[in-house]
Structure 1
Amino acid sequence: MAERSNEMRALVCVEPDRIEIRRAPRPEDRPGHIRLKVEAIGICGTDYHIYKGQQPYLSYPRTMGHELAARAMEDSSDGRIARGDLVVVNPYMTCGTCHACTIGKPNCCENIGVLGVHRDGGMCEEIVIPEGNAYPATDLEPRAAAMVEFLAIGAHGVRRSRLAEGSTALIVGAGPIGAGAALFAQIAGAKVTVRDTSAERLALVQNILPDATCETVDEAGDQSFDTVFDATGNINAMNAGLKFVAHGGAYVLLSVVKGDLNFADPEFHKRETTLIASRNALKADFEHVVDCLARGLVPIDAFATHRTTLDDAVTDLPKWSEDRGSVVKALIHV
């Protein structure tokens, strides 16, 4: 048997507008951690931002990738995961001791570190992560498991909104996060409308959710909705969204951007608006998404519009970063 190399391949963003395959040391074993063989990686908007030099608080070079499906290379110490099991990776590394962690909200840990952003991520052959950040996904195929993390962000926002079955929901922003939020709002029983400035993006969402109403911003009327979700990543759109919230409704902000929220207080108060920030996702959200995928409630083919390999991503990722209007979710298969 050939001796196992101490090095592995990794897709590294060396600096803005430059990515390459490099040889990197295989990660070392650590107590309480599990070694995983990466099988599929979803390319996130964050990865495109890193490539284009638009991600603050990031140092280069950086191995990107936080939407990960991987195969366990060993048994977990708690018996949840056996060698060979497919798992979904929760990429949010938390401290476990801050106020948010102690009240059951590690998704907004005060000292959070995200794989592929604050530390090297999973666009490589192997990773070693805390056992508690690996969730079994044995009923899924790798490409479905690699979509769990970004879908969980929308699912978390929907769960926080507490929208009622039969209510109306507006999702503004037809990117992957918006599409995921729209899907899980529909799964929760809401009547869904999706708006965007791009007819091309809306056509992709209509393919995912044929029963949803999809309309451009220019086509939109003055209808109000029980719950409005913003997934635009645009501070002007976030400030304008309040006018679509029905009296007694909720406004959920999935986007995180630099800038100030500005609402007219009389408009905010007369609606008795519930304003909700939604950040990342919790284990319960990951598990809900895995269950919905396993039950066939997520149209995987409609979401997975593009695919590539670790080697070909050197040219494909830059190309897709310039043409994101035609991409819902691109996947790297290792």
Structure 2
Amino acid sequence: MKALQLEQPKTWKTVDIPEPSAPAAGEALVRIHRVGVCGTDLGGYLGKFPFFSYPRIPGHELGVEVLAVGEGVTNVVVGDKCSVEPYINCQKCYSCRRGLTNCCEHHQTLGVMCDGGLTEKMILPARKLHVANNLTYEQSALVETLAIGCHAVDRAAVKSGENVLVIGAGPIGLSALEFIKVAGARPIVADISETRLQFVHEKMGVNDTLKVTGEDVDIEQLDAMTSNQRADVVIDATGNHHSMARSLELAAFGGRVVYVGITQQNLNFPHAPAMHRRELTLMASRNALSRDFTRIIELIEKGTIDTQPWITHHAKFEDVAASFPSWTDPETGVVKAVIHVD
């Protein structure tokens, strides 16, 4: 059975792997139809993502079809189209026992710490499948990206009417944007790329955008947009430690700052004038919860979330190695690339 493996950074290899066996109790055999590509995959390709190991079969944003189920499986049946929740948790640790399955102490993300879905078929825990029969396989593959933003906005407890600044207009920042709009808040999107900001304005209907430079003018422009209040919530989706440290300066007094991007660098910021004086709440947001997947599928079905602007690039399975390098450059206009496995 064919699979695509990152043998090492920037090196793709087509490999043959064994056909999966029959699903055991609690498991399901699925056929992979679509695989979405996100910043995690791009970081893994470039050798820059903290949790990625090699060699690895990537693929965690999956649109799949159920081929067989094991004993005791009742949440899906053969023929169901599903989105996959790719966070494999142990169900036994302290985090899991408290329902914090997104930050399981023994967490494994498909395609990052263990092999993922850039292959034809695979066995998955049936509890990680979310029925999406009214969605296309492309939409099903998009659900996981949206779930990251959904969880970040939930962490921030965004309220209607608040000013919410999203720093980083890549897929994760855009996923947070969707749920800021659902919450009835006012989104402001900042990025260093004029191309991305143009996309946000024209395709996603955001009136307030800010091309950041790292200089004081950024704060001056935000002050002008918010009557000198700055942002009630700042969601940093850059993964850049300079941006993440500076994000505290962009928050309102009593504001909340959420790091949804990931960096391996230490963060240095002034405590007294930025953190303490403003009495900020600083938090991380990792992965998503099962309920987020259910909610997102329903929002797409209702048309509350329009997926049409999201998918900008496609590639066949056999063309991935040739296409992937261009997807690392945001100036090519890539927002979400989708790989067709079938």
Query: Is the TM value for this pair above 0.5?
Result: yes
Alignment partner for residue 303 of structure 1, among 297, 310, 313? 310
Counterpart secondary structure, 2:318: coil
Instruction: Tell me if the contact between 2:85 and 2:144 (Cα under 8 Å) persists in the aligned partners.
Output: yes
Q: Which of the residues 115, 118, 130 maps onto 1:120?
A: 115
Paired with 1:86 and 1:52, the residues of 2 have a C-alpha distance of: 32
CA distance in structure 1 between the aligned counterparts of 2:14 and 2:99, rounded to whole angstroms:
38
- Indicate conservation of the 8 Å contact 1:21/1:314, yes or no: no
User: Could you list the per-position Cα deviations for residues 88-117 of structure 1 after superposition, in whole angstroms to 9, with x for gaps in the alignment?
Assistant: 111111111111111110101111011101
Deviation, structure 1 residue 262: 2.5
Corresponding residue of 1:37: 31
Structure 2 gap segments, 5+ residues each:
224-229
Counterpart of 2:226 in structure 1 is: none
Residues 96/212 of structure 1: CA separation in 2 closer, same or farther (3 Å cut): farther
Q: Match for 2:235: what amino acid?
A: F
Which residue number corresponds to residue 215 of structure 1?
210
Q: Deviations over 1:135-187 (max 9, x none)?
A: 11112111011000011000100011111111110001111000111111111
CA offset at residue 325 of structure 1? 5.0
Aligned-pair CA distance for 1:56: 4.0
Q: 1:255 aligns with which of 234, 252, 261?
A: 261
Aligned to 1:174: 169
Check conservation: 1:305, 1:328, Cα contact below 8 A.
Answer: yes
Quote how far apart the aligned CAs of 1:75 are.
Answer: 4.3
Change beyond 3 A, Cα 1:209–1:59: closer
Kindly report which structure 2 residues correspond to 1:1-80, keeping only aligned pairs within 5 A, or say none.
8-28=1-21, 29-75=23-69, 77-80=72-75
**Contact in 2 for aligned 1:11/1:314 (Cα 8 Å):** no
**Alignment partner of 2:83 out of 63, 88, 110:** 88
TM-score (norm 2): 0.91
Residue 318 to residue 211, structure 1, CA distance change in 2 (3 Å): closer
Which one of the candidate residues 127, 131, 136 is aligned to 2:126?
131
Distance 1:290 1:83 in 2: 19
Structure 1: which amino acid aligns with 2:30? L
Return the alpha-carbon distance in structure 2 between the equivalents of residues 211 and 11 of structure 1.
Answer: 37
Structure 2 vs 1, CA of residues 53 and 265 (structure 1 numbering), >3 Å: closer, same or farther? Answer: closer
Q: Report the CA distance between 1:322 and its aligned residue.
A: 4.3
- Could you tell me which residue of structure 2 aligns to residue 289 of structure 1? 296
Distance 1:323 1:232 in 2: 13
Aligned residues of 1:10 and 1:24 also touching (Cα < 8 A)? yes
One-letter code aligned to 2:108 = G
The amino acid across from 2:247 in the alignment is: G
CA contact (8 A) 2:25 2:73 kept: no
Cα deviations by residue, 1:238-272 (Å, 9 ceiling, x for unpaired): 10011111112111111111122233222212222
After superposition, the Cα gap between the structure-2 partners of 1:94 and 1:124, relative to the gap in structure 1 and judged at 3 Å, is: same
Query: SS where residue 284 of structure 1 aligns?
Result: helix
Quick one: which amino acid aligns to residue 134 of structure 1? L
Query: Does 2:328 match 1:321?
Result: yes
**Residues of 2 paired with 1:106 and 1:112: CA distance?**
8
Secondary structure, aligned partner of 1:312: helix
Deviation at 1:69, TM superposition (A): 0.8
Q: 1:222 to 1:300 in 2, by over 3 A?
A: closer
Shift of 1:324: 6.0
> What is the one-letter code of the residue matched to 1:329?
K
Contact 1:191 1:212 in 2 (8 A): no
Q: Which residue of 2 aligns with 1:143?
A: 138
2:243: which partner in 1? 237
Per the alignment, do residues 26 and 206 of structure 1 end up closer, same or farther by CA in structure 2, a change over 3 Å counting?
farther
Q: Structure 1 pair 73/300, CA: closer, same or farther in 2 (3 Å)? A: same
Percent of aligned pairs with the same residue?
36
1:154 alignment counterpart = 149
**Could you tell me how far 1:323 is from its partner in structure 2?**
5.2
TM-score, with structure 1 as normaliser: 0.93
- Cα distance in structure 2, aligned partners of 1:324 and 1:15: 25
Moved more, 176-185 or 18-27: 18-27
Structure 1 gaps, min length 5: 1-7
Indicate which of 268, 274, 277 corresponds to 2:275. 268
Bigger Cα displacement from structure 2, 160-169 vs 8-17:
8-17
Among 181, 193, 216, the residue aligned to 2:188:
193
What displacement does 1:70 show? 0.2
What CA distance in whole angstroms lies between the structure 2 residues aligned with 1:240 and 1:56?
A: 21
CA distance in 1 between partners of 2:234 and 2:198 (Å) = 20
State the alpha-carbon separation in 2 of the partners of residues 179 and 268 from structure 1: 26
Aligned residues: CA RMSD? 1.6
* 2:100 equivalent to 1:105: yes
Q: What is aligned with 2:227?
A: none
Residue type of the partner of 2:319?
Answer: D
